[in-house]
Amino acid sequence: EHNYSCDNAHTDLIHNVHKYIEEHFPNSALCLKDLARANFISIQYLCSVYRRATQSTIGNYIFEVRMWHVQKLIKDGQRNVTVISEACGYDDLGYFCKCFRKKFSMTPKQYIESINS
């Protein structure tokens, strides 16, 4: 499913990191320390292996997972932006709206209206 440029040990690590993020993304306190601890490695090693394997960052992956779930909630009919942001790991509505605009080039309200039109 994913094509990483690393050996099997690192492929397993990346898979475990992705699985952990997908299970814990609603927690706004999700952090690198938790991911490193769950995999029994240092934060520095985790970030280094991840970047080499994916050419991206863990923070970016968390962002993409959260935005995918935001989109899914909206498509499933959720219209309350506060509920959406909190369900996807954002406890600061202003920051959520900034992240949403970065991803979709419009506000959550504009996106919701565009789906309903």
Answer yes or no: are the C-beta atoms of 74 and 110 closer than 8 Å.
Answer: no
Residue 21's nearest CA partner among 8, 9, 11, 35 is: 35
For residue 48, which amino acid is it?
A: S
pTM of the predicted model as reported, rounded to 2 decimal places? 0.90
Which residue type does 55 have?
Q
The tens digit of pLDDT for each residue in 73-108 reads: 999 999 999 999 999 999 999 999 999 999 999 999
